[in-house]
Amino acid sequence: MSKVGIVTGGGSGLGQSTALRLAKEGVNIVIVDVDEEGGNETVEILKEAGVDALFVKADVSNAEDVKNYVDQTVEKFGTIDYFFNNAGISGSGKYFLETDISEIEKIVGINLLGVLYGIRYVAEVMVKNGGGSIVNTASSAGVIGQDTVVTYSATKHGIVGLTKSLVAEYAKDGLRINSVAPGPTETPMVKSYFEANPKMKESAESGIPQKRLGTPEEVAELVTFLLTGKAEYINGEVIRIDGGFTNTKF
């Protein structure tokens, strides 16, 4: 019987690439995104790849929207085996004291509350059904401090703590919960950030020992490994995928 996965932020970037990689493993997938066009596009590609797929529009910062995408997944497929808890935004790139309160609230709502809500409802299904695997998207900014992304960094540090603490509570119930911490990666979100802050791209590339940005496909390979049975004894880890970027900082 085919496994079932949910991918939030699946309309582009890391979410889309991971969904397509999971399809190669025969996983049926529910794509969650606020972007209908991108989400439906991913679903069409997945169906062409031979798996069943469903798009659910959701604002992950809204708990009712989150409950709805979980309910729709269970209604269609009966269970949830894998969850890539990935949706997020970066922000304007302003220094913290110049950042509007509304932006702070939006970033925290999507990046941290959205991840918490997702696990709250997905893990409930997984525990009831005997277990499952979750991967959260943290960031290099979740393991070191970085300027111009203070609120974003705070949310990603929160995801790291969430990952470790949930394992302490629910590993005994069959849950595996890990996080990936990508460095600067060629996603639409990062490209938009660098377009608004061009000096940051030069700084990022020069600060990465491998002298290039990562690709969504590279992150997708790691996420797929962590989600599937190939990583059964990896639990509570935050795995950096950043070309050595964070290893050179502290």
The set of catalytic residues is 152
Residue 246: helix, strand or coil by DSSP? helix
Contact between 141 and 200 (Cβ < 8 Å)? no
Q: How many CA atoms lie within 13 A of 18 on its CB side?
A: 34
Query: Residue 178 and residue 236: Cα distance in Å, rounded?
Result: 5
Q: Which two tokens stand for residue 176?
A: 């595996």
Query: Residue 193 and residue 50: Cα distance in Å, rounded?
Result: 34
Contact between 24 and 220 (Cβ < 8 Å)? no
Q: How many CB atoms lie within 10 A of CB 217?
A: 14
